[in-house]
Structure 1
Amino acid sequence: MDSLETRELRYFMAVAEELHFGRAAARLGMAQPPLSRAVQRLERRLGVTLLERDRRGVALTGAGTVLLDEARAALDAVTAAARRTRRAGGSGSGERLVLAVKAAASHELLTELLDAYAAEPGAAGIEVLPSGICEQGEMLRDGRADVALMHTPFNSLAGFDSEELLTEGQIAILPAGHPLAARGTLSLDEVGDIPDLPLARWARHGVFPPGPGPEIHDMTQLAQLIALGRTAAVIPESARAWLWAQHAAVPLTDAPAVVTHIVWPAHSRSRALAELIRTATRL
C-alpha cells in the first residue's frame, strides 16, 4: 500500500528532525512508546528502514532522508491547500491575493505594480506581506502567500514559475559622516574590510552567517545601526527608498546584478493571479 497519512508524516518528521524519540514525543505532545510504534508501523508498510537506532541515538538512513524531504513538501502542500481554500471562501468581496515581498526591496516597482493592477477591471484585493531575506519561497510553498517578488542571486526559484521584472545594481549603505561615504564608487572588498563598520548579517533560513557584524532582524534595526555608525550594508539600488538622512549610498563597481522576479506556484490556476502577472510583465 503506497498511501501515507499526514499524521504518519508528521510523526516521522518530528523524529527525523530531532533525531531523538523523547524530544520528538515532547514536541508532538504525546508519549514516546506510541510514537515509536507508529514509526515502526510506517517502516513495515514501506518495507524500508527509515531510522538507524543504537545506544548513541538515532540516525537517518538514505531512505529516511528521502522521506524527510518528501514529507516536508507534502505537508507544506496540505497546509497551503487549507490556507488558500480558506482565503478563497473567507470573504464575500471576491478573490484576494497575498503578495510576499522582502521588506524595503523593490519599493518603486511594487508601488507601480499595485497601482497598475488596481486600475484593472475586476482586480482582486492584494494583501502585501513583508518577509525576511529568504522567506518568500517558503511562504509560497506553505500557502501563506500566493505570489512573491523574489531576487536572484539571493533567492532560489526552483519549483516555481517566474517572470523577470527588473535588473539593477547594488549599493553600499554607510553612515553619512563616514570618510568612505564621500567616494563616488566602492568595491565589495573595500566595503567588507572597513575595520569600524563590520557588515550587517541577515539570517538565511534561520541561520546567521559568521562574522563580526551585528545580527539584523528587520530593516528598522538595520537603519538605526547604520545611522549610529555601528554597521554597513550591501543592498539593491532600489532600496534607496527607505534611506534616512543619516545614511549615504555609494554604488558598488563589482557587486553582482540583482534581478527581481514575480514568482508563483507552478500549479496555480487563479485568474486573478494570472492578471496580476500580466500586469507586472507590462510595466
Structure 2
Amino acid sequence: MDLDLRKVRYFVAVAELLHFGRAAEQLHIAQPVLSRQIRALEKDLDTTLFERDSHGVTLTTGGLQLLDDGRALLASADATRRRVQRSARGPHRLVVGFRAGIVVTHTVRAYGAAHPGIEVRARRVEWDDQERLILDGTVDLAYLRRPIREEGLTLLPLFAEPRVAMLPGDHRLAGKQDLVRTDLDGETWLRYADQGPDDVPIRSIEEKFEAVASGAGITLVPVSVAEQYSRPDITYVPVTDAEPDEVVLAWETARRSALIAGFVESVRG
C-alpha cells in the first residue's frame, strides 16, 4: 500500500507536539478525525506509532523512525511541488540567494539587463537554511559561506576574504590596530550554532550583534560584514592570522536550467 502523505503530515504534527488536541488545532481538523487518521496510518504500516496512557503520548521505536523519515519525505514532497509549479510558470524568474555581507547587486543587475525578459530577485539566506533553500527550490542558486553541506550541490569557488573580530565597544582590545588569535585567548566565543539568550540558537548577524553588544562573547566575521554593518556599541579589529572566509556560488546538481547555467557563466566572466 502506498504511504498517504496527508496521514504522514498528521502524524508528524502529533509526534512533534506529543498532544492530539494541540495537533488537531494546528492542523485545523477535529481531534476525532485526527485520531482516526493516525489509527489508519498505524494499520497501513502494521506498526504502533504512539503509546497512549494516563500520562500522555509517547513515540514508539517505530514512531521515532517514522518521524525522522516522515520529515524528510514531506520536505521532498514540498520541494517537488515547488519545482512543478516553477516549471509551469515557465523559465522567466531567477531567485538568487546570498549570505549577509555578500553584495550581489552588480551581478544581479547585469544579468537582468542582459536578459530583459527574466525577472531576477535576490533573497538573503542564513547559515542554517542555505542548502535547504536551494534543494527545495526556494532559491535557484546562492552565494554561500563555508561550512557547507555539499550533498546534492555543485559549488563554484569565488573568493576568500579576511575576518575581523567583532567586539563590544568597551572591550579591552577595542581600538587596537590589529590582533592575532592568541590575543583572544580566554574569550567566550559565539558561533551561529551556539545557544544564545534563553537557549535560542544564534541564527542571524543581527542576533550576533545583540549577543556581542550585551557582553555575552565575541566572534569573528568576514570583513565585508564589518564594512556593511556598523553600530556604536560594536567595534571591529582585524585578526591577521584568522582563517579566511570562503565564498562560493552553489546550485542543485540535478537541476537542468538554462537560467542557472547563464547566471553561472556571467559570474565566471
Instruction: Using the TM superposition, give the Cα deviation of residue 150 of structure 1 relative to its aligned residue in structure 2, in angstroms.
Output: 2.1
TM-score, reference length from structure 1 = 0.74
Alignment pair present for 1:262 and 2:249: yes
2:151 counterpart residue number: 158
Partner of 1:96: 93
Q: CA deviation at 1:278?
A: 3.1
Looking at structure 1, the residues matched to 143 and 245 of structure 2 have their Cα atoms a distance apart, in angstroms, of 12
1:191 shift after superposition: 7.3
Q: Deviations over 1:235-272 (max 9, x none)?
A: 12332330438454322355444322222233322210
Task: Give the TM-score taking structure 2 as reference length.
Answer: 0.78
2:45 — aligned with what?
A: 46
Whole-angstrom distance in 1 between the partners of 2:221 and 2:186: 13
In the alignment, which of 212, 221, 224 is matched to residue 238 of structure 1? 224
User: RMSD of the alignment, in Å?
Assistant: 3.7
How far the C-alpha of 1:12 sits from its partner, in A, is 0.9
| 1:209 CA drift (Å) | 0.8
* 2:8–2:70 contact (8 Å) kept in structure 1: yes
Deviates more, 1:180-189 or 1:233-242: 180-189
8 Å Cα contact 1:6/1:75 also seen in 2: yes
1:1-283 correspondence runs (5 A): 1=1, 3-90=2-89, 95-102=92-99, 104-107=100-103, 110-115=104-109, 117-118=111-112, 120=114, 124-153=118-147, 155-174=148-167, 178-180=171-173, 181-187=175-181, 190=184, 193=187, 202=192, 204=193, 209-210=195-196, 219=205, 232-244=218-230, 246=232, 248-253=235-240, 255-280=242-267, 282-283=268-269
Identity of aligned residues (%): 33
Amino acid of the residue matched to residue 14 of structure 1?
A
For structure 2, the residue ranges without an aligned partner over 5 or more in a row are none
For 2:62 and 2:152, the matched residues in 1 are separated by 22
Tell me the alpha carbon deviations over residues 217-251 of structure 1, each in whole angstroms, 9 at most, x when there is no partner. Answer: 75567668878989754212332330438454322
Query: Secondary structure of 2:37's partner?
Result: helix
Residues in 2 aligned to 1:177 and 1:66: alpha-carbon distance in whole angstroms? 50
Q: Measure the CA separation in 1 of the matches of 2:186 and 2:52.
A: 46
The Cα shift of 1:128 comes to 0.6
In the TM superposition, residue 115 of structure 1 has moved relative to its aligned partner by 4.8
Residue by residue, what CA displacement relative to the aligned partner does 1:179-237 show, whole Å, maximum 9, x if unpaired?
Answer: 523141142771762xxxx76675x5xxx615699986755676688789897542123
Cα deviation, 1:140-194, whole Å, max 9, x if unaligned, reads 34432222222222x433343333222334211235675523141142771762x
